[in-house]
Each structure stands twice: as C-alpha cells, then as structure tokens.
Amino acid sequence: MTIKGQLDTQGHARVMVALRPNKKRSLEGGFMVSLSETIDLQQQVAKDLSKHFKRFANSRAALLGKDFEAFLVKHKQTREVAVEAGAEGVPPSPKVTYFPNLGVMLGTVDEAGLAALKADRKRVGKVVASPDFSLIPPVTESALAGPAPGVSWALSRLKIPALWEKGLHGEGVLIGHLDTGVDPTHPALAGKIDAFAEFDFLGQRMTNSITRDTRYHGSHTAGLLVGAPVGGVTFGVAPGAKLASSIVIEGGDIPARVLGGLDWCVGQGVRVVNLSLGLPGHDDEFSVILTLLRQRNILPVVAIGNEGPQTSRSPGNLPESLSVGAFDELDEIWLSSSSEQMAGPPARTAPVLIAPGVGLFSSVPGGGLRALSGTSMATPHIAGLAALLVQYRPDLPIQKIEEAIIASCKRPSAISSLRGNHGAPDALEAYGRL
C-alpha cells in the first residue's frame, strides 16, 4: 500500500528512509568519504531523525511484537536480541529500526513526521513505503528417479567446469545468502558457512542462534551456490566460495528481516548477494536499497518469480537487479518462469537473463538430495558465476563483472526475447571479456 493509502486508512505509515551520504571536500576540490566515515556520520543523523517516528498500538510492527511475545511465553522461550555496536545510536524498537551499513531507517510515522522527514533534504535522500516479501516457492520434481552421477547438466550448459580448469572455484569470495537458512551438517555444505545470522519475527538479530534451515529452500539454493560434490554428483557452481547465510523468511516482519539480513551482509564484506525471494507485482520502493548495495560494490542477483508470462516479482523486476529466469535441459523456457515488459522509465524486459532452473538436484536438510524447479534454483547459478569472476578480477567494480556476464549471453532459438531477454551466459566467454 502507498504511504498516502496507509495514512488515509490507518493514520500512520510504515516507511523506509534512506539517508544521504555525508561528503567531505578533498584537497583537490572534489568530494570524498569512506564507508566507515559515512556510517559514523549517519549514525548521529539517524539518532536525531528518530524523533520523527512514533509508536502506534495498531501498527503492524506493534501487533507482531505482541504476537511474538505471546508465542514466546506460550512456548517458554526467551527472546534474546543482539544489540550490534553499530546500532546503539537508535536501538531497535517498534517505532524505528536503523540499519547502519545501509544507512536506512525503517519505522512508522504520522503525517507530521512524514512531512518533517521529506523537508530535511540535506540529510534525507528518499522516503518510500515499506514493501513486503515472501519466498518464491519452487516445484518439487517427484517424478525424477535420482541424480545422474557427474557434473549437472546446468553446470555443463553454462560452461562452469571450464572456469574450474582455470583454477577458479570462488576461493576468497563471500556470497550473501538470504533465505530460510542452511543445514551446515549436510556433506555438501560442511565448512561452507563462513557466517550465520537469524533475524526474528520483529527483524532483530538473535544471539545464540543455531545454524539451521527452517525449511529446505535455503539449503537447496546454498548447495547450488557453493555445494561440494556428494556421492559423485556435482552441482555447486562455486565450491571454493563461502556463504554469509541468514534466516529472513518466512513469517513476521519480513521487510525488517530482509533489511536486517542485507545490512548484516554488507558488514560481513560480501561481493554478491543471492535473493530467491520477492513481492508479487511491481514495487519501485526497494530500488533505493538495491542502489545502496551497488554503491557498496555488491551485486544483487534476484529471482524473477514462478508465476509465468506477463508476471514478475519485485525486486527482481527493478532495473537495479540482475534478475534471473529459468529454462530447462532442452533449452526451452520453463513455463512457470515469470517475465514481463515494463514501459519504465527505463523501458525494460525482466528478467535480464535466464539460467538452468528445472529438475535440479541439490542439498536438503538431513543429508539428502532433492530435485526442485524454479527461478530460485536458476538464480544461484548466476550468483555463483559472478563469484567465480570476482575471484578472477577482485579489483573490478561489480558493474564490470555484471556487464561481462550479460555480454556473454546467447538466447536459445526456441526462446523469445520477451521470455528470455538476453539469454543464458557462457562462463568461458564472460571470463574472456574480463
């Protein structure tokens, strides 16, 4: 719902506020400031701006808080929240949460608070409505008997083994993984999780959280990103890379959980982030967050959705995303892969490219392998490819890595530009372009 719609119906609105980066004039006359300096300076700005936010008993955050506390009491659990050192200026609360590595505030305002924020143009960049996200559910391919030994058809199709032969396995690259979590005991994922965080139903980071997968989706996408071979079956694109994995879906205050996960990933030093989640339909508001990621030299690789032609999900359909659709082993588009043409600005087709996403075996909790189909499965192939190229050229801005991937794409003849856009990348050609 728009900010105006929320104010008209509820008397308050949930907004994201992106703070302007602080700049210092250099000796040469230009402007320069480090990310650490920006975080320190914006911390004080956020502390001052928090006065424009208010608590509302009927706000979604407040009601979720009551529900969550009741759940904990019922199940005799203790709610432990880590107060990160960088967030002490504006402690997390139902009225406002500050994400220091992103420079973003999330909270509720009334008309007066909204007006004050918009009027503060020197310190406030944008004020937008808070979007909501959900898992992009995959399709289980129960008819498949089992994985074939050797390298998966998906890896072969993208020519990933050719980069392995050049010594590129993703070593030294950290990939952000926002999902349902991950099973660290799975043989494909043992030693692959460099950092883990869980964000509770209020979007606050939990201490003493045990690394785990709350479903199976996260372990499956993690395996496609960095999984080691299991039983002679090879399916991980960048087995030398590591994950900064966080639980952000499903349930609760998902905008706060996703922002918390992204903010944490920035702090961990990721270069690529895999987002197999989205909001049905088109929502421009999250563009500001994707822009902030790119400014921090992080490539957002996002699933486009599983609702078929002339549909798409945000943030995958936003121009700041490297969005991914799915095709099958016969080089035909997966019928449920979303795609949409948007007038803009800028005019564009989503997804940007496509990748293998049908009948793919990967890790699931408990040590087994399961075949799933979906753009959630296609997306890790592109995020993993980006990680291999980052290992090769860590000095390059992430935009150059992205440009090489897109330039290497070729669209199968059976797939129209409306459905497949640029087509599927060629890993070896992308490498050559760098």
Phi, psi of 21 (to 5 degrees): -65, 140
**269, 295, 405 from 299: Cα distances, Å:** 12, 10, 12
Active site residue 376: yes
Task: Tell me whether residue 362 is one of the annotated catalytic residues.
Answer: no
Nearest to 124 by CA among 111, 115, 136, 135: 115
DSSP assignment, residue 80?
Answer: -
Count the helices and strands in the chain (H runs, E runs). Answer: 13, 23
Which two three-digit tokens encode residue 236?
């991980």
292 Cβ contact list (under 8 Å, min separation 6)? 18, 102, 103, 104
Rounded distance, CA 415 to CA 316, Å? 20
The length of the chain, given as a count of residues: 434
Which is the catalytic residue, given 152, 336, 376, 408?
376
Cβ contact 150:418 at 8 Å: no
For 135, other C-beta atoms within 10 Å of its C-beta total 20
Q: Check 50, 52, 177, 179 and give the catalytic one.
A: 179
Say if CB 247 and CB 181 are below 8 A apart: yes
> Residue 179 catalytic?
yes
Give me the active site residues, please. 179, 217, 376
